[in-house]
Amino acid sequence: MPKIVFIEKDGNRKEIDAPNGVSVMEIAHMYDVDLEGACGGSLACSTCHVIVDAAWFGKLGEPTEAEEDMLDLAFGLTHTSRLGCQIIMSDELDGLVVGLPNATRNMQS
């Protein structure tokens, strides 16, 4: 089973099993990683914003226009920012490293 490494807000590294076909956001929720995901992965918020390690960023597919629109609302946006709900784990992503931003911006009412 592939692994994912979350770099938590305090800098701690949390390496966990990441089942294929499951989003980074869902994996975070399964293992109590502090990644919000207020809209449940429906691309209606940016609270599952993660910062992908530069070594891994090029291995991800291109973000959709809808994801880019939501990323524009993310707090602490970087050039390797993605939404965790849009990154689906696979064997090719075994060892993926993502960081959690220091804050999120929840615009949902």
Per-residue confidence (pLDDT) for residue 75, from 0 to 100: 86
51: β partners: 81, 99
108 in a structural domain = no
In tens, the pLDDT along 49-62 reads 999 999 999 999 99
In tens, the pLDDT along 6-46 reads 999 999 999 999 999 999 999 999 999 999 999 999 999 99
20 in a structural domain = yes
Question: How many CB atoms neighbour CB 64 within 10 A?
Answer: 12
109 in a structural domain = no
36 in a structural domain = yes
Q: What is the CATH number of the domain that holds 93?
A: 3.10.20.30
Q: Using a cut of 0.75, tell me whether the model's pTM lies above it.
A: yes
41 in a structural domain = yes
106 in a structural domain = no
Q: Which domain holds residue 81?
A: 3-99
Per-residue confidence (pLDDT) for residue 105, from 0 to 100: 56
pLDDT category at 109 given cuts 50, 70, 90 is very low
30 in a structural domain = yes
Number of domains in the chain: 1
